[in-house]
């Protein structure tokens, strides 16, 4: 495959005028897992890991049933005599793919909402399987995907796109601007620097220092030899004036506080 070849998931669906099939599903193995994890977390239970494996196994079973389903039309598109070992199944030796929104081939997570509405997931699961505002599936041990049966269907990563492609995609989604699309595609897909929509005013945080007048301090002289009593008396006799430029908070009425800036 040369560098000039670019894949799209739409390449694996027949063009208009031809019969073709595409399937979709959403499943979970984590209903009640959050409550159980909170209950047994101190004991080191691995229920979340088990729930993740159950969800993936459930997705594999659903995909197998879709490939062998005559009602969905997949049976005549895939190999009806498919007999794969567990190892071959884990190596994706079967025909077709099941990418999900958020995959490198479909990086926009917002398409999960389209799949959710198509399958009526909220209604059929009584909202036990749902999407968050950031399109994260809850419970987290869940799988959703589209299923393609094309014999040449493969997983791939969307390359970097230009601003005109993002604008076209946003318009087809019915959006006025490209900000939402840029956010959900992410910096790894965008082939350009996002424009800053809001100008941030610059502030000069440097504070001008007021010059502090220099004071001449008397030199303290201690004659040697001298006793400790003489040294203490000499220290007490030394006085100097200190100018404080700090802003002080006046104490409340009746509060007896000593001015810390008064030196005597």
Euclidean distance between CA atoms 82 and 76, whole angstroms:
12
Q: Which CATH number fits domain 18-158: 3.40.50.360, 3.10.196.10, 1.20.1600.10, 3.40.50.10800?
A: 3.10.196.10
Euclidean distance between CA atoms 48 and 78, whole angstroms:
34
How many whole angstroms from its chain centre is CA 49? 21
Give the pair of three-digit tokens for residue 163: 């601003």
Residue 237: band (very low, low, confident or very high) from pLDDT cuts 50, 70, 90: low
Domain ranges of the chain: 18-158, 160-192
The answer to whether the beta carbons of residues 27 and 55 sit under 8 Å apart is: yes
The answer to whether the beta carbons of residues 245 and 230 sit under 8 Å apart is: no
Answer whether residue 143 shows pLDDT above 80: yes
3-state secondary structure of 167: helix
Average pLDDT of the segment spanning 6-25: 89
Residue 164: band (very low, low, confident or very high) from pLDDT cuts 50, 70, 90: very high
Residue 221: band (very low, low, confident or very high) from pLDDT cuts 50, 70, 90: low
Average pLDDT of the segment spanning 198-203: 41
Higher-confidence position of 208 and 55:
55
Higher-confidence position of 74 and 246:
74
Q: Number of helices and strands (H, E) in the chain?
A: 8, 4
Residue 249: band (very low, low, confident or very high) from pLDDT cuts 50, 70, 90: low
| pLDDT number for residue 2 | 47
For 24, the enclosing helix (H) or strand (E) is strand 23-28
The string of pLDDT tens digits covering residues 84-134 is 888 888 888 888 899 999 999 999 999 999 999 999 999 999 999 999 999
| pLDDT number for residue 4 | 65
| pLDDT number for residue 110 | 93
| pLDDT number for residue 64 | 87
Name which of 225, 188, 167 is nearest 102 in CA terms. 188
Mean pLDDT is lowest, of 116-120, 192-196, 197-201, 238-242, for 197-201
The answer to whether the beta carbons of residues 116 and 131 sit under 8 Å apart is: yes
* pTM tops 0.85: no
The pLDDT mean for the chain works out to: 77
Higher-confidence position of 155 and 255:
155
Answer whether residue 190 shows pLDDT above 80: yes
Q: What percentage of the chain exceeds 70 in pLDDT?
A: 66
């Amino acid at each position: 495959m040369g560098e000039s070849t670019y894949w799209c998931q739409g390449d694996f669906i027949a063009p208009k005028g031809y019969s073709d099939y595409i399937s979709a599903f959403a499943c979970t193995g984590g209903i009640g897992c959050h409550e159980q994890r909170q209950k047994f977390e101190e004991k080191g239970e691995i229920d979340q890991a088990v729930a993740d494996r159950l969800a993936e196994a459930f997705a594999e079973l659903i995909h197998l049933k879709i490939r062998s389903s005559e009602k969905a039309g997949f049976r005549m598109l895939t190999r009806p005599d498919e007999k794969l070992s567990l190892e071959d199944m884990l190596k994706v030796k079967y025909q077709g793919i099941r990418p999900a929104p958020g995959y490198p081939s479909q990086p926009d997570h917002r398409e999960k909402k389209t799949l959710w509405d198509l399958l009526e997931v909220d209604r059929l699961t009584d909202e036990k399987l749902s999407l968050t505002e950031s399109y994260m599936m809850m419970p987290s041990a869940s799988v959703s995907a589209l299923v393609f049966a094309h014999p040449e269907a493969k997983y791939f990563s969307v390359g970097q796109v230009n601003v005109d492609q993002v604008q076209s995609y946003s318009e087809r989604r019915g959006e006025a601007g490209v900000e939402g699309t840029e956010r959900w595609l992410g910096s790894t897909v965008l082939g350009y620097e996002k424009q800053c929509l809001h100008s941030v005013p610059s502030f000069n945080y440097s504070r001008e220092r007021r010059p502090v007048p220099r004071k001449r301090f008397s030199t303290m002289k201690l004659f040697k030899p001298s006793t400790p009593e003489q040294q203490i008396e000499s220290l007490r006799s030394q006085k100097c004036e200190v100018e404080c430029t700090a802003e002080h908070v006046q104490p409340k009425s009746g509060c007896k506080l000593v001015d810390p800036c008064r030196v005597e």
